[in-house]
């Protein structure tokens, strides 16, 4: 067997082994994304209704709560960026990091200093490689987050928001979140949204009298009870959206890698067949040439 044919066959074995890995990862992501979609569908109504409840309390009461009132002179903002722990997911993590960088640039244009809170090893490694400051980070659960993880992250963010700005506890005046919204198996879009101070994201124009609200014991106590849960629900929903997007992006990337492996195997097979045919042709030519040489030598000796 010729050296060129051995090289082609060795490369074919390597590509086939890689194809098995990418195919297995594609099937795993395809099976996990169904559960991730179900968790997103179950979490979204709760987060939306809680947002409406908090918006109602903030809109129809005269209280000035620190979590709903914008700071007159904001100086520092916190940005939570949600990425993946593992790779093989195409541009999923890079898109979220890029969206976070654009948001940070806009905040700095407003004169705010930015504290970065990161979820996922991809974002952590990206910031550490570039020697960027990290206020806090969490890793190890990007593809399967739980409410306990969301509560831990939310507690850190709320403590930073309630602390006095400029103190050692890194007090911030605004909280922003960057995550990837799951639209469909094909479309996942990075989003940047402000969580605190509370933005009225849904405005409805109604004619006539506005609804009457009574708050017991007081609007301040209601907001104190609702807003931490509001932040937890928003963070948890964002993490679930990101997890579903991660699985969808990894499935799409692995399917593309598997298809590319199939094409490469076909190409290498054609090259190997051509090399084998060339070797056979060369061997036949050598046999014929040797036979002609023997015939000529026999004729000359006679």
Cα–Cα distance, 114 to 80 (Å, whole number)? 10
d(C-alpha 297, C-alpha 302), whole Å: 9
Q: What is the pLDDT of residue 202?
A: 43
E strands, 3-100, are 76-82
pLDDT by residue for the chain (302 residues), tens only, comes to 577 888 888 999 999 999 999 999 999 998 898 889 888 888 888 888 777 777 776 666 666 676 677 777 888 999 999 999 998 888 999 999 999 999 999 999 999 999 999 999 999 999 999 999 999 999 999 989 999 999 999 999 988 888 765 455 557 889 999 999 998 888 899 999 988 887 654 444 444 444 566 767 777 777 777 778 888 998 999 999 999 999 999 999 999 999 999 999 999 999 888 888 888 888 888 888 887 777 777 776 65
Q: What is the pLDDT of residue 172?
A: 87
pLDDT at 224: 77
pLDDT at 244: 93
CA dihedral 288, 293, 296, 302 (to 10 degrees): -120
Q: How far apart are CA 235 and CA 51, in angstroms?
A: 12
The residue written with tokens 């960088």 in the block is: 101
- According to the model, what pLDDT value does residue 275 have? 85
pLDDT of the residue at 13: 92
- The pLDDT value given to residue 292: 78
| pLDDT reported for residue 201 | 46
Domain architecture of the chain: domains with CATH: 21-200+214-255 (3.40.1380.10)
Candidates 242, 250, 27, 38; CA nearest to 123 is 242
Q: What is the pTM of this model?
A: 0.81
Bridge partner list, 80: 117, 177
**Which pLDDT value is given to residue 133?**
92
Looking at residue 285, its pLDDT comes to: 85
Rounded Cα gap, residues 135 and 206, in angstroms: 43
Residue 238: what pLDDT? 93
């Amino acid at each position: 067997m010729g050296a060129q044919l051995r090289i082609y066959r060795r490369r074919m074995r390597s590509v086939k082994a890689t194809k098995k890995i990418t195919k297995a990862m594609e099937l795993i992501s395809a099976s996990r994304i169904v559960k991730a979609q179900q968790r997103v569908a179950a979490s979204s109504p709760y987060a939306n209704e809680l947002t409406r409840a908090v918006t109602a309390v903030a809109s129809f009461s005269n209280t000035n709560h620190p979590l709903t009132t914008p700071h007159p002179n904001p100086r520092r903002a916190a940005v939570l960026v949600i990425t993946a722990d593992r790779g093989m997911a195409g541009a999923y993590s890079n898109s979220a990091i890029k969206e976070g960088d654009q948001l940070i640039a806009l905040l700095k244009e407003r004169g705010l200093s930015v504290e970065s809170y990161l979820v996922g090893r991809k974002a952590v490694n990206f910031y550490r490689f570039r020697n960027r400051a990290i206020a806090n980070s969490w890793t190890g659960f990007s593809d399967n987050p739980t409410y306990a993880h969301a509560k831990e992250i939310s507690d850190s963010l709320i403590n930073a928001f309630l602390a006095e700005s400029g103190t050692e506890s890194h007090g911030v005046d605004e909280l922003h979140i960057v995550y990837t919204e799951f639209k469909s198996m094909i479309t996942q879009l990075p989003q940047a949204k402000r969580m605190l101070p509370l933005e009225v994201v849904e405005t409805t124009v109604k004619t006539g009298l506005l609804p009457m609200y009574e708050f017991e014991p007081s609007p301040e106590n209601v907001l104190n009870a609702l807003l931490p849960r509001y932040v937890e629900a928003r963070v948890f929903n964002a993490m679930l959206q990101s997890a579903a997007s991660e699985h969808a992006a990894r499935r799409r990337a692995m399917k593309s890698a598997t298809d590319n492996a199939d094409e490469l195997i076909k190409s290498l097979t054609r090259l190997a067949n051509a090399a084998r045919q060339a070797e056979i042709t060369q061997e036949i030519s050598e046999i014929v040439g040797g036979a002609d040489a023997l015939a000529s030598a026999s004729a000359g000796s006679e």
